[in-house]
Structure 1
Amino acid sequence: MTDSTPCTESAERLARPLIRLAKANGLSTSYIDQLGTYTEISDEALVAVLAALGVDASSSEAITASTAALEERQRKQLMPPTIVVTTNEAAAIELNCAPDVDITAAITLEDGTTFAGDITTLPNPNSSHATLAISPDLPMGYHTLHVKAGGREASATIICAPARIELPQAVAEHQRWGWMTQMYSVRSYESWGVGDYGDLKRLLTDAATKSGADFMLINPIHAGAPQPPLEPSPYLPESRRFLNVTYIRPQDIPEYAELPAAALSQVSALHASVASRNEDADPMDINAAWEAKRPALRIIFDAGRSPERQAAFEAFATAAGPDLDSFAAWCVCFEVWGAPWADNPWFSETTVTDESVRRLIAEHRDLFEFNRWLQWIAAEQVTAAQRAALDSGMAVGLMQDMAVGVHGLGADAWANPERFAASGVTVGCPPDFYNQQGQDWGQPPFNPRYLEATGYQVYREMVHSMYEHAGAVRIDHVLGLFRLWWIPQGLGARNGAYVNYDHEAMLGVLAIEATRVGGMVIGEDLGTVPDYARRILADHGVLGTEVEWFARVDNSPNAGDPYAPPSDYRRQALASVVTHDLPPTAGYLNFEHVALREQLHLVDDPAAFRKSAEAEQHAMMERLVESSYITPEVAADVPAHEQQIVEAMHTMLCDTPSLLLQAALVDGVGEHRAQNQPGTSSEYSNWRVPLADANGHVVLTGDVFDSPRLKSLSQVMRAGVGQ
């Protein structure tokens, strides 16, 4: 950046009515990209994003009217609809009323009782507004504040959260290490062509007992479509509130063992029709797997349950609340009326409360109950996996991954469209070094106004459900707690705008839910993340993410610049060598990412990208040599020393101060193939690559932790943390 290059918006730009309106509605009208370049958001993008928030900025007259309407709304608001306070600290809440009016206030606690602590009005002669003071004994949780002031009434949700998420004692004592895997990619003879919750339970148990690991991060297991064709990406779910039922293992359902002989024979035949695929190293056929498993599950459902089991199912449905019924209703519509993305009008022409939908559910009540039952079974099996992990000695156990958003035609978007932005905007990210055209993830963003107006209830329920069967939650693209890159339809990923969110409210929710189970939060803070966001996350006890291939001196984004020594890594972080968006380390060392991007035409200048990748590898070898992890001779012939270099990179990982260290199963067995290539959909077999070794042979669930190569890597990790 030269001295003449601006780094902030000019006074003239800031004075423009459109810019002022955008900022008043929570938009960032400029940003600094990953390369440090100052970038201004276009008027076209600002107008379109404002429209998605329900704000008309289509003309000068509209901008004037929208500005006036916002100011009037703010003038009438007695207090914000959501208020965040800190446990064990007195809270001061400013009310939009004169300090001399009569004010009465009360708080209904989360459990329905009335707060017995002090709520008083603070005298402040220098202020034109009244201030409400709440004593520091307000308990942690979600409460409702009721205020009457001068003839006006209002209620607000109080999120009373700990100042920070404290580390579990086992992690605070010393470093812990674990594995990362795409759960669906690891299969056993009992699987149905795709890894399932039974495989997860075995992986967690073996990881603990055979390798000494304390956690396992898996792909998101949010809910998908009820029937094929299924969306392969676990990062594009139909609902983040519920679980992916395609990962259920029928044989682990208690009622399976009680099936009559004829029904058991039917289920066995269905399993046999896909079981041979478990040993196939080619991309998985997730649709064939579900087409066999789903009728098997229906057989088990139709067989019925004992009164005790039926009561447990009903208790689950009651606790899940109306969102479970909405999700099941969407599934019934999908299965009877057809997929909503197949030029099918029911998605846009009906809502969950329509008479036609109620009638459909009444006509297909068994299908409605079946879809609710599937969620119960999935929850049971994931809970059993986490219980097995902890019983086997893991300190943390299952680490769930939270996707950024949901499918625009999914259950959440259909049942509750008011929760999301309108006008077809989607979430993504602006261009960076690894994705030079930017990314559009095709997901509708939460409407920040709706979140605030409803006390973040939808977010609270989602986070709570994840911690019901996990010891930690990793938040993909954690910058989304602060801002999201909204992309208006038709403008392309480059031409979006950042919309800001109330990070204190969402961090408060995370702190409450994690504290209640003694859990952890890890934020994926790679790419274009401002320093202030990382500081705030650290202050709240959220661990960041360190990746060796990205960890350059002074956080340089330039490939070929020197890599940071391990001592420079953050302590409060989850550190790893790779991520799910990179090939396994062996593949990366052999430039798998370069060949794939060239093949798929994902880079503007293939020759320059290849040259930068070679410079990147050279810099990594220099770091490993300089720190005495490998010799110059090894660095000079990478292909011949693949495993040695992979283990050297993990040895360096263990010399970092990061609290959590993570190895990948793909690195343990020597896999080369990438699980995902960002920026593609059908062009590459994303999220369907089964776990295989360096020779291309499938590694089954029961054999993973007996692999000599994985045992060797496990020993590196165990020695590194002093086990």
Structure 2
Amino acid sequence: MSKKQEMESEERLARPLIRLAKAHGVATSYNGQQGEFIEIDDDVLIKVLAALGVDASSEEKAKKALSDLEDEKHARLVEPTVLHVQGSDSTVTVNHGPLDVPQASITLEDGTEYQGVISTKPGDGATAYPLDGELIVNSRLVIPADLPLGYHTLHVKAGKRTADATLISAPKRVNLIKDLQNGQLWGWMAQLYSIRSKDSWGVGDFYDLGNLLAGAKTKTGADFILINPVHAAEPVAPLTPSPYLPISRRFINFSYIRPEAIEEYDRLDDEAQEQIAQLHDSVRANNTDPDFVDRDAMWKAKVPALWLIFKAGRSIKRQKAFDAYVKEAGGDLEAYATWCLCYDKWGAPEDDPESWENRLTKDSKEVKDLRKQYPDTLEFYKWLEWIADEQLTAAQKKAQDAGMKIGLMADMAVGVHPQGAEVWWNPQRFAKGATVGAPPDFFNQQGQNWSQPPLNPIDLANTGYQTYRDMVHGMFQKAGAVRIDHVLGLFRLWWIPQGNSAKDATYVYYDSAVMLGILALEAYRANGVVVGEDLGVVPDYVADSLKEHGLMGCVIEWYAQDSNGFVPPKKWREYALASVTTHDMPPTAGYLNYEQVKIREELGLLTTSVEEFQKSAEEEHNGLLNMLETNGYMPAQWREDEASHEQDIIEAMHVALCDAPSKLLAAAIVDGVGERRAQNQPGTNNEYPNWRVPLADGKKNPILLDDLFNNERLLSLADTMNNALAKKNAR
């Protein structure tokens, strides 16, 4: 990569490789974090194109691929996916012979025929394109502004040729829900697994979530809780700790099931219930372990309990409900359940050519034979998903019944595990030979490789974005809001070719208009809220598009800095979820006491001397306190004895937070109880117990859900939020 000029030369832009890359949405240059211009090396472009299934290994092959692409574009009667934004006419290009007159009709999502008039107007006037001895011209179909919202089918006919396209009719933007139109809402942020009750199995679960949501509303007045992703995981221990590396984003992590809350539990005889009680007792002590959340012990105890309940059978009514769920979930559920069965019987997939996942496909005889050999186990994994779906839905219902305006805010991870069910069953959905990450920046000078295979934008377009639609729809069925981790991924992702470092990579662009349109449509149907995590450097066009589509961004008080220091909250964005901290930092009590310095020093993560890092941390610390003091959020004398005023300072930070115009405000439950330990230390795996730190106070006393809403410090923070907002609204 080079940093010579500020734009690509005409000579470079004329090269077949560069033209081919741009035609496929592969960036041939970009601007780094400091605005420096960087051109992408040919080797990287060739490898990324190969991951898209395009051979550009020589100039001749690049020329041929470019020619083939143009032929394919003109041979196609209509693009496979078409976006219509309700409220204004939209046009669709149709390629056809010079004497053909295009005709079109629309089958609406409900199966009825659209009665509006689809008119035709001349195309772009370009010279006719020669293809297979014929000339191809184009016309434009005009889709009327009043086309109903939904996923429809556009039927196009021109001469003897016909084609269908997925026609997505979406709202222009995600409109604010009623309670946000002229006001703000506040809620909590929590790591579900860390919040255990006396009846948990050592890990917080969906039954706990329902009680957490209801209690947060009735005891603190909160209107939502943002939790960690609860996407599907492995079926057998050891379980991956990180919720951001799921096996499938389409389904739910069934390890969060509470066995005793399953309706069929009551069908068990006394002996079976006693067996479950004994299994529960074997891990009950883990609920008060202050040091470690032991998912594996939990799951090893919970699986036999779930088998007992599964074997008890279901009533006719319940069996019909299960059958209906399986039918609706369709092939994706078949994929995940089959993958779980293979994992169960053959062991964890390995990065080895002889591993079952690398040797076999869904159509392999061995896989089909395994399904026939263990039909009960296959059904068991489908049943687990059904139960998990029921219990997560019930948790949101508890939130709504308690009066929460939003309830659960679900978190959507960026991607999936490279050896997970989605990649194995549907490899065509993903780029082969590339993973997703981030380019070099101030914090990671070598860049980051997240090891997740990116969705293939070509396959998305060819399939009407079905994979993405199903995922978003599923999340909104069980939540009042969805937070999208790394929302820039809807616009572009940093693709790292296999064998390359994270620096030797480039961006690949996605059709953000379609993906944002789907989000807007699903949010509209669910009367939900969409939050995009857009921290860090965000290109202007991305920020503008997010704002235009009504998506909330994110603001973190510790990160809200510019060249003049910390930005007062009154100047923050309106369309944002604002909070003091985030899960990638120590809780505020820890951060104020330089926990971030201690962790990085102990783990050898510092790129400078500890003295330099400590100095920069102290400057940041003092800068934030200066902002609080200057703007009247705390008195100067607190700084003379910060240790005695730790809780006061944290609450002052939340008073400042409430002064922001941001529509959504969030307080972290760890800040409410005085916890100091980080949930996640970026740049580490097992060197630090990431995603395995249980909820405790500043002295590592475990805090159970049963006592959480009696905690004086947490109630004081809740009062701070409520009083600050009430005072603000009374002005």
The TM-score with structure 1 as length reference comes to: 0.96
Q: Distance in 2 between matches of 1:46 and 1:682?
A: 34
Q: Which residue number corresponds to residue 592 of structure 2?
A: 589
Deviations 1:247-267 (A, max 9, x none): 000111111123111111110
Change beyond 3 A, Cα 1:143–1:657: same
Q: Which residue number corresponds to residue 133 of structure 2?
A: none
Q: Which moved more, 1:656-665 or 1:144-153?
A: 144-153
1:387 aligns with 2:397: yes
- Give 3-state SS (helix, strand or coil) of 1:351's partner: coil
Among 276, 295, 299, the alignment partner of 2:304 is 295
Q: Which residue number corresponds to residue 571 of structure 2?
A: 568
- Give 3-state SS (helix, strand or coil) of 1:721's partner: helix
AA aligned to 1:581 is: D
Map of 1:282-431 to 2, 5 A cutoff? 282-341=291-350, 343=352, 345-423=355-433, 425-431=434-440
Q: Distance in 1 between matches of 2:42 and 2:614?
A: 36
Q: Which residue number corresponds to residue 147 of structure 1?
A: 156
Q: Percent identity?
A: 53
> Contact conserved, 2:93 with 2:123, CA < 8 A, in 1?
no
AA aligned to 2:385 is: Q
1:531 aligns with 2:534: no
Q: Which residue number corresponds to residue 75 of structure 2?
A: 76
Deviations 1:504-549 (A, max 9, x none): 1111111111111100100000113212111111111111111111
Q: Distance in 1 between matches of 2:638 and 2:623?
A: 14
Q: Which residue number corresponds to residue 92 of structure 1?
A: 91
Q: Distance in 1 between matches of 2:123 and 2:399?
A: 55
Deviations 1:232-281 (A, max 9, x none): 00000000000000000011111112311111111011000000010011
Q: Which residue number corresponds to residue 463 of structure 1?
A: 472
Map of 1:467-478 to 2, 5 A cutoff? 467-478=476-487
Q: Distance in 2 between matches of 1:125 and 1:182?
A: 53
Change beyond 3 A, Cα 1:38–1:720: farther
* Deviation of the 1:136 alpha carbon: 2.4
Q: Distance in 2 between matches of 1:590 and 1:657?
A: 29
Q: Which residue number corresponds to residue 499 of structure 2?
A: 490
1:613 aligns with 2:617: yes
Specify every segment of 5 or more residues in structure 2 that has no aligned partner in the other structure, as ranges. 127-136
> Contact conserved, 2:25 with 2:509, CA < 8 A, in 1?
yes
Q: Which moved more, 1:407-416 or 1:124-133?
A: 124-133
Change beyond 3 A, Cα 1:40–1:189: same
> Contact conserved, 2:84 with 2:167, CA < 8 A, in 1?
yes
Q: Which residue number corresponds to residue 105 of structure 1?
A: 104
* Deviation of the 1:432 alpha carbon: 2.3
- Give 3-state SS (helix, strand or coil) of 2:120's partner: strand
* Deviation of the 1:55 alpha carbon: 1.4
Q: Which residue number corresponds to residue 130 of structure 2?
A: none
* Deviation of the 1:626 alpha carbon: 1.1
1:275 aligns with 2:284: yes
Q: Which residue number corresponds to residue 116 of structure 1?
A: 115
Q: Which residue number corresponds to residue 247 of structure 1?
A: 256
Q: Distance in 2 between matches of 1:198 and 1:125?
A: 58
Q: Distance in 1 between matches of 2:620 and 2:96?
A: 59
* Deviation of the 1:34 alpha carbon: 2.9
> Contact conserved, 2:361 with 2:425, CA < 8 A, in 1?
yes
* Deviation of the 1:636 alpha carbon: 5.1
Map of 1:253-272 to 2, 5 A cutoff? 253-272=262-281
AA aligned to 1:185 is: S
Deviations 1:664-701 (A, max 9, x none): 00000001101011122111111000000011111101
Deviations 1:8-53 (A, max 9, x none): 3343433333222211110112222333333332333222111101
* Deviation of the 1:120 alpha carbon: 1.8
> What's the Cα RMSD here?
1.7
1:226 aligns with 2:235: yes
Q: Distance in 1 between matches of 2:388 and 2:556?
A: 32
> Contact conserved, 2:192 with 2:227, CA < 8 A, in 1?
yes
* Deviation of the 1:311 alpha carbon: 1.1
- Give 3-state SS (helix, strand or coil) of 2:297's partner: helix
Deviations 1:42-81 (A, max 9, x none): 3332221111011122222222222222222222222211
> Contact conserved, 2:84 with 2:143, CA < 8 A, in 1?
no
1:631 aligns with 2:630: no
Q: Which moved more, 1:215-224 or 1:19-28?
A: 19-28
* Deviation of the 1:568 alpha carbon: 1.2
> Contact conserved, 1:34 with 1:527, CA < 8 A, in 2?
no
Q: Distance in 2 between matches of 1:21 and 1:614?
A: 50
AA aligned to 1:43 is: D
1:237 aligns with 2:246: yes
Q: Which residue number corresponds to residue 643 of structure 1?
A: 647
Q: Distance in 2 between matches of 1:103 and 1:122?
A: 10
* Deviation of the 1:370 alpha carbon: 0.4
Among 442, 445, 449, the alignment partner of 1:433 is 442
- Give 3-state SS (helix, strand or coil) of 1:291's partner: helix
Change beyond 3 A, Cα 1:9–1:625: farther
> Contact conserved, 1:120 with 1:134, CA < 8 A, in 2?
yes
AA aligned to 2:317 is: E
- Give 3-state SS (helix, strand or coil) of 1:20's partner: helix
Deviations 1:467-514 (A, max 9, x none): 111000000000000000111122122222110000011111111111
Specify every segment of 5 or more residues in structure 1 that has no aligned partner in the other structure, as ranges. none
Change beyond 3 A, Cα 1:599–1:64: farther
- Give 3-state SS (helix, strand or coil) of 2:141's partner: strand
Q: Which moved more, 1:308-317 or 1:146-155?
A: 146-155
Change beyond 3 A, Cα 1:591–1:17: farther
- Give 3-state SS (helix, strand or coil) of 1:491's partner: coil
- Give 3-state SS (helix, strand or coil) of 2:309's partner: helix
Q: Distance in 2 between matches of 1:269 and 1:337?
A: 29
Deviations 1:105-130 (A, max 9, x none): 11121122221211121256956521
Q: Which residue number corresponds to residue 580 of structure 2?
A: 577
Q: Which residue number corresponds to residue 666 of structure 2?
A: 662
Q: Distance in 2 between matches of 1:49 and 1:125?
A: 32
The TM-score with structure 2 as length reference comes to: 0.95
Change beyond 3 A, Cα 1:95–1:606: farther
1:694 aligns with 2:698: yes
* Deviation of the 1:412 alpha carbon: 0.5
> Contact conserved, 2:193 with 2:293, CA < 8 A, in 1?
no
Q: Which residue number corresponds to residue 718 of structure 2?
A: 714
> Contact conserved, 2:198 with 2:706, CA < 8 A, in 1?
no
* Deviation of the 1:99 alpha carbon: 6.6
Q: How many residues align?
A: 713
> Contact conserved, 1:546 with 1:574, CA < 8 A, in 2?
yes
Change beyond 3 A, Cα 1:52–1:399: same
- Give 3-state SS (helix, strand or coil) of 2:507's partner: strand
AA aligned to 2:17 is: L
AA aligned to 2:524 is: T
Q: Which moved more, 1:432-441 or 1:204-213?
A: 432-441
> Contact conserved, 1:625 with 1:635, CA < 8 A, in 2?
no
AA aligned to 1:242 is: F
> Contact conserved, 1:7 with 1:38, CA < 8 A, in 2?
yes
Q: Which residue number corresponds to residue 671 of structure 1?
A: 675
Among 127, 139, 142, the alignment partner of 1:133 is 142
1:602 aligns with 2:602: no
Q: Which residue number corresponds to residue 132 of structure 2?
A: none
> Contact conserved, 1:176 with 1:721, CA < 8 A, in 2?
no
- Give 3-state SS (helix, strand or coil) of 1:470's partner: coil
> Contact conserved, 2:87 with 2:172, CA < 8 A, in 1?
no
> Contact conserved, 2:590 with 2:596, CA < 8 A, in 1?
yes
Q: Distance in 1 between matches of 2:56 and 2:597?
A: 43
